[in-house]
Chain A
Amino acid sequence: MAREIPYIAAVQEAIRVEMERDPSVVFYGQDVAPSDEDPLVQAFGRERVRVSPISETAEIGMAVGLALAGYRPVVELLMAEFMLVAMNQVVNEAPRLRYMSGGQVKVPAVFKAGYGFTAGWAGQHTGSIYGMFMGFPGLKIALPSTPADAKGLMATAIRDDNPVCYLINYLLVLEHGDVPEGEYTVPFGEAAVRRSGSDVTIVATGWTVGRALAAAETLAGEGIEAEVIDPRTLNPLDTATILSSVEKTGHLVLVDQGTRHGGASAVIAAEVAEHGFTSLKAPIAQVTALDVTVPYSEPMEAFVLPNEEKIAGKVRQVLGEAPVAA
């Protein structure tokens, strides 16, 4: 049975259900369960639900050690940028150990963090920095855009035998949606087609999925039918679904809250340019955040981010119905 709950509650529900299901799942992090009244502490006790100091290297590295020894840690890191404090653990230990050991070990750990909180949290709490993680083989990246996916992708992340950066878009935490009760998983590497259309393919991630769907409604009023694809995981990336949509539409607009250079959309653009070139009737277009640090001031914040107007404008441009901007 599905019922409507907020995105953030869906994340917590997945952790609770997986902890019930598997005693090897442990959950810890900064400010996790500050009181004994916390429902996770009540359910699982202080051994499996722990508050850790502000110590990202120790927290993430410890998760790798737990995982090597057969546990399935979920580490609460609050902000994706805080992972940067512990990059050696995130990129140099966790995803490399299986390969470097010739397959002797596995590292089933979830690094849970929020990103993209462009609500005045300014330059070091708002970045959409997952693009860089796409360059580290061995590391999976999940970017849920709906409450149901927030639950299903977290459950899959916990059950996956590899390290996963599970990234919550903080602009979505209070959005409500239907979420199945009980055990519920969403497979990694399977994009969701959020809207079908035959004129243009829009690939959008996280919070921008909603913006792309809104833009698609506007465009529908103009007789343009956009197909909106949400990859849901960037690694593994479902290039097959994207390519087959582009084959149908011949046009591709990529939308992402991250930067243009070194970002997710650049990686997807390269895949389609290489493997879908003959399907394209116009150059691929990108609607990303600008290549700047997210500013504090509200109008400035809006200036750097993708929005419905920018997406709709870019779609008209690739369809040759608007002049090409410089």
Chain B
Amino acid sequence: MDADVAIGLLRTMWRIRCFEERVVQLKRSLQVHGLIHLSIGGEGVAAAVCGRLRDDDAVYSGHRAHGHAIAKGAPIDRLMAELMGRSDGVCRGLGGSMHLVDAEHGFMGATGVVGGNLPLALGTALTHHLQEADRVTVVFFGDGAVQAGHFNESINLAALWRLPVIFVCENNGFAEFTSREEHSTIERVSDVVAPYGFERTTVKGSDVPAVWEAFGGFLDAARGGEGPFLLECLTYRRRGHYEGDQQKYRDAAAEQEWAERDPVAQLTRRALDEGWIDDEAAAAIEAEAGEAIEEAVRFARESPFPEPAITAELVYAR
């Protein structure tokens, strides 16, 4: 990690943070329509992983996908327009928060079914293998996906065929509304895949340099055609499972503890300590992100709602 990397990651994290905090407001005022899942508190993983990728690398994500899409390079104005159901949205207003796709930047898609697109990542990785390309596929998922069949099938086949895919688990300790110990006797997701024999590790997701380093090692190997790999990042979801969640399952003490370990705050402190930025620069990064989000909201509000006529042209590829 050096100054340029740290500043770049802070910019990305602040864009995600400001985007999602603005979505909270827009959801409350019913300008964002529908089901919304936020990643506030977990931005470090999205920034550090996607920050190392190229546009021609493929990323898949789950229902908590805003951060991954932003970090992969999806334009925030079109993401905001998508959440507001407008025709200039990345998916023309037809996908929404859980189905974001920005193929141009290699964000191949979120899914509304927990872990439902894990096997899609195998297909993209097999393509890269067949083409002998140095492109890499990353799939983000939560600890809640690990108990499902599609996770286990995907891990088995990826290991069997040695596909260049990196599984990135954001283990926030909650599968929707219940804690990990109610879902599995295995605490660490990296232990679940141990018998397959591929490289895996667990890092603190709030420690952005640690994620950056760990992912970087896997990425270099995957670029050389090796795989699969699994990176488990221990994170914390500071909002509920969805916007509107009463969060009666929440432990207030843990919340306080995680607020102190916030990845944005931690990386900012590190950058200040290292002398990479000063207080003024830190404030400017946050302010720039906030302004960009306001511009995105303006763009989205000006965009019209989609016309029913687009349906006929989009159900089937012709």
B315: A residues at CB distance < 8 A: 98-99, 137-138
A138: B residues at CB distance < 8 A: 315-316
User: In whole angstroms, how far apart are the Cα atoms of A99 and B124 in the complex?
Assistant: 19
B94: A residues at CB distance < 8 A: 99-102
The interface bits of chain B over 47-88 (1 if a CB of A lies within 8 angstroms of the residue's CB, else 0) are 000000000001000000000000000000000000000000
Tell whether, in the assembled complex, residue B314 and residue A68 are in contact, meaning their CB atoms are under 8 Å apart.
no
Size of interface on B: residues with Cβ below 8 Å to A: 46
**B81, chain A: closest CB distance, angstroms:** 11
A65: B residues at CB distance < 8 A: 108, 119-127, 137
Chain A residue, CB-CB nearest to B98: A100
A322 at the interface (CB under 8 A from B): no
Provided the pairs A64-B120, A102-B94 are in contact, do residues A55 and B127 lie with their beta carbons within 8 angstroms? no
Provided the pairs A65-B126, A138-B316 are in contact, do residues A89 and B91 lie with their beta carbons within 8 angstroms? no
Chain B residue, CB-CB nearest to A140: B316
Tell whether, in the assembled complex, residue A67 and residue B123 are in contact, meaning their CB atoms are under 8 Å apart.
yes
Considering the complex, which residues of chain B in the window 106-160 have a beta carbon less than 8 Å from any beta carbon of chain A?
A: 108-109, 111, 113, 116-128, 130, 137, 149-150, 153-154, 156-157, 160
User: In whole angstroms, how far apart are the Cα atoms of A47 and B160 in the complex?
Assistant: 14
Tell whether, in the assembled complex, residue B101 and residue A93 are in contact, meaning their CB atoms are under 8 Å apart.
no
The interface bits of chain A over 225-241 (1 if a CB of B lies within 8 angstroms of the residue's CB, else 0) are 00000000000000000
A53: B residues at CB distance < 8 A: 156-157, 160
A97: B residues at CB distance < 8 A: 101, 109
Tell whether, in the assembled complex, residue B123 and residue A102 are in contact, meaning their CB atoms are under 8 Å apart.
no
Tell whether, in the assembled complex, residue B99 and residue A57 are in contact, meaning their CB atoms are under 8 Å apart.
no
User: In whole angstroms, how far apart are the Cα atoms of A57 and B101 in the complex?
Assistant: 22
Considering the complex, which residues of chain A in the window 198-248 have a beta carbon less than 8 Å from any beta carbon of chain B?
A: none
Tell whether, in the assembled complex, residue B314 and residue A60 are in contact, meaning their CB atoms are under 8 Å apart.
no
**A99, chain B: closest CB distance, angstroms:** 5
User: In whole angstroms, how far apart are the Cα atoms of A102 and B82 in the complex?
Assistant: 10
User: In whole angstroms, how far apart are the Cα atoms of A65 and B130 in the complex?
Assistant: 13
A34 at the interface (CB under 8 A from B): no
Segment at the B interface, from A1-9, A69-77, A283-291: A69-77
Tell whether, in the assembled complex, residue B157 and residue A62 are in contact, meaning their CB atoms are under 8 Å apart.
yes
User: In whole angstroms, how far apart are the Cα atoms of A175 and B122 in the complex?
Assistant: 37
A14: B residues at CB distance < 8 A: none
The interface bits of chain A over 92-116 (1 if a CB of B lies within 8 angstroms of the residue's CB, else 0) are 1100011111111111100000000
- Which residue of A48, A62, A137 contacts B119 across the interface (Cβ within 8 Å)? A62
Chain A residue, CB-CB nearest to B129: A47
Tell whether, in the assembled complex, residue A93 and residue B156 are in contact, meaning their CB atoms are under 8 Å apart.
no
B153: A residues at CB distance < 8 A: 55, 57-58
**B94, chain A: closest CB distance, angstroms:** 5
User: In whole angstroms, how far apart are the Cα atoms of A177 and B44 in the complex?
Assistant: 62
A255 at the interface (CB under 8 A from B): no
Considering the complex, which residues of chain A in the window 128-153 have a beta carbon less than 8 Å from any beta carbon of chain B?
A: 137-138, 140
A88 at the interface (CB under 8 A from B): yes
**B62, chain A: closest CB distance, angstroms:** 13
| Ranked 10 nearest A-B pairs via Cβ | A65-B123, A61-B119, A102-B92, A161-B317, A58-B153, A65-B120, A101-B101, A69-B127, A66-B123, A102-B91
Pick 15 A–B contacts, CB within 8 A, sort by A.
A53-B160, A61-B119, A61-B122, A62-B120, A62-B126, A65-B120, A68-B108, A69-B58, A69-B124, A93-B111, A93-B120, A98-B314, A102-B93, A104-B90, A162-B316
Q: Which residues of B are at the interface with A, using a C-beta cutoff of 8 A?
A: 58, 89-95, 99, 101-104, 108-109, 111, 113, 116-128, 130, 137, 149-150, 153-154, 156-157, 160-161, 313-318
Given A65-B123, A66-B126, A69-B128, 13 further pairs, Cβ under 8 A: A52-B157, A53-B156, A58-B119, A60-B119, A61-B116, A100-B101, A101-B99, A102-B93, A102-B314, A103-B92, A103-B314, A104-B102, A105-B103
